[in-house]
Structure 1
Amino acid sequence: MKRVLNVGILSAMSAALLSACGGANTSNDKSGQTADKPFAGKKLSIVTANHPWGDAIKEMLPQFEESTGMKVDVQSFFEDQLAQKLTVQLTAASATPDVFMYSPLQQAKLFVKNGWITPLDDYTKKDAAYDFNDFSKASIGSNTVDGKIYGIPIITEQHILYYRKDLLQKAGIAVPKTMDELLEAAKKLNDPKNEMYGFAARGQRSALVSQISSFMYSEGSDFMKDGKATVNTPEAVKGMTTYATLLKDYGPPGVLNMSWPQAIGVFAQGKAAFFADANSLFKNATDPEKSKIADQVGFAQFPAGKNGSQPFNITSWGLAMNAKSANKDAAWAFIQWASSKEIVLATQKKGNPGARMSVWDNPEGTTAFPKELAEVTRETQKGGVDHSLPPVDKVSEARDIIGAIVQKAISGEERRPIRRIRNSRF
């Protein structure tokens, strides 16, 4: 049944693609191509991260190649290797890869500044059936630089609150809906003598910066405004201070050395009442082979601050087109296919959270996720903020500057260190 369904999806997509490319006329043109296979003879180079989405797409490629006539070569790399490969090839003005997975928040501004990727605005308008407006607003925002769209979202992440159902029920504590309620609940459930901590999250210098973003946004601030850092505004300071307080007063030992694997590990081992991070990490807490509290994990929307609940709602991975590609129309045909409603549904059913609202509204699109998590994700997709890092060219440097100050607040090394961040350009 699964095989039949996949074939049906691909066949339907192929028919739509053929229609968009000129119908079923099989007459040859001078290049030897046929109208029903407009890219016959073309070779397309695709580079992906080692990611489940890439694995899912590779399984579907033969049908795409058959319907379009093109040959697609796919190479996959670990994230660091991918970043290095892209930097080397794009710096050298290589025409390959034609299409690649990229991290918009880490790379978009730099890649645009260097002229490495192609704006996709005109392509998104060519085919009404593509229904570009179906993508969540925030996911497109993550791929937008200076008002132009440079990538199509394929994997999204939202900041949510994980919690222990059994602990809250036993203590008679409601799921926190505000920052103040989260602080109070974490305090009540914090019991270091019995290795139970109120809150777990990232404490590593660079890793924590994406996590403080939602705390800042929910208080009404951001990293930047008009090209200047705004992380020393009262709203930003309050958000970062809340995060630092949760980890300083109610966090586990060694939190300054924790990125997400270590932090969710504490939660999964039953040693923390709350964990805040991306929803994409959920299997680390719900898989019985990895978690001691798999059947007690709850999911909630990010707690509200003065500005309401404003978690990051981002594109973690997108597809971009090489500005030097000699096969731009063929490259777009692949991007359009890979991000179509039918293929997004197929990849999301394998656990890859996409950006199309219609797929999240489709019961089939949520089968790979716990019911409560699917509901929280669908609601968060409607709003949130489209970035979780400072929107600058030198993201790593900015993360180090901010992270170092927040770490001092977490460790209690210096009194009110967050206020030392100056309102200057990163």
Structure 2
Amino acid sequence: MTRRGKGWVVGIVLLLTLTACKQEVKTDTLLQTKPFAGQKLTVFAANHPWSNIMRKWIPEFTHNTGMKVDLQIFSEEQLHQKMAVQLTSLAETPEVFMYRAYMDKILFYKNGWTVPLNGYVMRNEAYDFSDFSKATIESSTVNGQLMSIPLFTDQFILYYNKDVLQKNNVPVPQTLSELQEAAKKLHDPKHDFYGFVSRGQRNALVTTVSSFLFSEGGDYLDGDRATLNTPDAIRGFKIYADLLRNYGPRGVVNMSWPQSIGLFAQGKAAFLVDSAALYRNAIDPEISVVQDHVGFATFPAGSAGARPSSIASWSFAMNPKAKNRDAAWAFMEWVTNKENVLRIQRNGIPGARNSIWASKDGIEMFPSDLVKAIQDTMEKGIGHSVPSVMSVPEARDVVGGIVVKAILGEDIQHAANQANKELQTIIEGDKKN
């Protein structure tokens, strides 16, 4: 039993004894024992609504444990730079840091920059680690070692304009073939309206095209072997490229998510595929003209079924050089317990716990069809959205190049063959580092 747990037992026994003796006791004598009194924890986090909300709640943690928490918030680029300096210099701080496990877990794991958490998550039965969605844990795990705890999530889903579909008697697509047919029918570029929009920028599109790739039975790798030019993979890449080439707006190869979801929010597209976490951008009345007409659905099924990406977009990891790992874990556990995940989710940030998505309190602030799409995706989703290599940015450029070339009219088989060789070179190079 942890020191904190022993303190609770002693407190309960004392309460029962004094009650039995009918003695009057002041409430403050029964408070927690503040097991980390006098200690200080440094935490680095990205500038995100999650971080700004959590900052407001940290005084509660300090009150209960006695531990002071210095939460330092940086832009994403600054955070990466500062963590690189701290970890390579073997600094003891920050003890806890936020990072993109889906992008960096292999690199951090091989460099020994994160602590395996398998044992920590089993210490407290009430923490209920099994409550985290399978896909988000997959995106936080390397070689069976849990290297981080999910903070919030990305589920890739289908957005659609309900008004446009209803007026044209088009049902919500259940398959990728139906999506292609619907996009073709609704595409009207002469009136600045497009059947489909999504990310077309080379690096940015990879996390979105992954759902098409997986749903057609493909993947980026098979062990240490690149698989970008298999028939399944090419089919997935081609469906995505064809949608953007034939039914997307001009200049789509320069679009990342802000541009594509912005176009959808302006009522200029029938369908959009992107992360559910971005849903507010589509329904915010200050930036959207279709806020009352946005529908959400599970990603359409391909020949291998519906297999969309479902990842932990940001996670908390522990610094191996932290002097007091128990103190670091106490904070990580508190931040990601059921109560705080619920509170975060009620602020509109999708959490990674299944029980919260199954509770009325956890879903009542989200559109009902969005809830269903997220629940379905958490159940069937795939826990990665980029190649699982150390050199992820380089690998993303290679993968994205296949789609961009196809959008521009080049032969996709040739592009995939060349990209497969390039990805294999990256894999072999990572082995040497």
Whether TM-score is above 0.5 comes out as yes
The aligned counterpart of 2:185 is 188
Q: Does 1:331 align with 2:328?
A: yes
Aligned residue identity for 2:240? Y
Count the aligned residue pairs.
404
Q: Secondary structure at the match of 2:71?
A: strand
Query: For the residues of structure 1 that align with 2:216 and 2:6, how far apart are their CA atoms?
Result: 48
CA contact (8 A) 2:32 2:64 kept: no
| In structure 2, distance between residues paired with 1:152 and 1:408 | 37
Q: What code does the residue aligned with 2:406 have?
A: A
Q: Which residue is 2:239 aligned to?
A: 242
Which residue identity does 2:7 align to in structure 1? G
Q: In the alignment, is the contact (CA less than 8 A) between 2:241 and 2:403 conserved in 1?
A: yes
1:153 to 150, 154, 177: 150
The answer to whether residue 161 in structure 2 is matched with residue 164 in structure 1 is: yes
Equivalent residue runs for 1:341-420 within 5 Å: 341-414=338-411, 416-420=413-417
1:88 aligns with 2:59: no
The aligned counterpart of 1:312 is: 309
Q: Distance in 2 between matches of 1:392 and 1:338?
A: 29
Provide closer, same or farther for how the CA distance between residues 77 and 88 of structure 1 changes in structure 2, counting only shifts above 3 A.
Answer: same
Aligned mates of 1:303, 1:88 — CA distance in 2: 43
Q: Secondary structure at the match of 2:45?
A: strand
The 3 A distance-change label for structure 1 pair 378 and 331 is same
Q: Distance in 2 between matches of 1:325 and 1:242?
A: 47
Report the counterpart of residue 212 of structure 1 in structure 2: 209
Secondary structure at the counterpart of residue 270 of structure 2: strand
Take 2:245 and 2:425, find their aligned partners in 1: how far apart are those partners?
A: 29
Cα deviations across residues 35-55 of structure 1 (Å, max 9, x unaligned)?
Answer: 811111111001111111111
Q: Distance in 1 between matches of 2:280 and 2:5?
A: 38
* Contact 2:348–2:366 (CA under 8 A) maintained in structure 1: yes
Q: What 5-or-longer segments of structure 2 have no aligned partner?
A: 12-30, 427-433
Q: Specify which of 4, 14, 22 is matched with residue 7 of structure 2.
A: 22
Contact 2:217 2:303 in 1 (8 A): yes
Tell me the amino acid that sits aligned with residue 422 of structure 1.
Answer: N
| CA displacement, residues 379-424 of structure 1 (integer Å, 9 cap, x when unaligned) | 2111210000000000001011111221010111446444433353
For the residue of structure 2 that corresponds to 1:390, the secondary structure is coil
For residues 324 and 365 of structure 2, the distance between their equivalents in structure 1, rounded to whole angstroms, comes to 35
Unaligned runs of 5+ in 1: 1-16, 27-33
* Aligned-pair CA distance for 1:368: 2.9
RMSD: 1.7
Q: Which amino acid aligns with 1:203?
A: G
Alignment of 1:248-327 (within 5 A): 248-327=245-324
Q: Percent identity?
A: 51
CA distance in 2, matches of 1:198, 1:279: 20
- How far does residue 22 in structure 1 lie from its aligned partner after superposition? 3.2
Tell me if 1:66 matches 2:63.
yes
**For 1:422, which of 410, 420, 423 is the aligned residue?**
420
TM-score (norm 1): 0.92
Corresponding residue number in structure 1 for 2:96:
99
User: Mean Cα displacement is larger for which, 178-187 or 412-421?
Assistant: 412-421
Q: C-alpha deviations, 1:330-356, integer Å up to 9, x for none?
A: 000000000000011011100111101
- Relative to structure 1, the CA distance from residue 396 to residue 21 in structure 2 (aligned partners, 3 Å threshold; closer, same or farther) is farther
Q: Which of 95, 116, 120 lines up with 1:119 in the alignment?
A: 116
User: Which residue pairs with 1:13 in the alignment?
Assistant: none
Contact 2:237 2:402 in 1 (8 A): no
How far did 1:317 drift?
Answer: 0.7
User: Do the aligned residues in 2 keep the contact of 1:228 with 1:425 (CA within 8 Å)?
Assistant: no
359 and 21 in structure 1: CA distance in 2 versus 1, 3 angstrom threshold: farther
1:288-340 C-alpha deviation (Å, 9 max, x unpaired) = 11111110000000010011000000000111000110010000000000000
**2: CA distance, partners of 1:355 / 1:116:** 23
Letter in 2 for 1:252: P
Give the drift of 1:72: 0.6
**Greater CA radius of gyration, 1 or 2?**
2
- TM-score with structure 2 setting the length: 0.91
Deviation at 1:245, TM superposition (A): 0.1
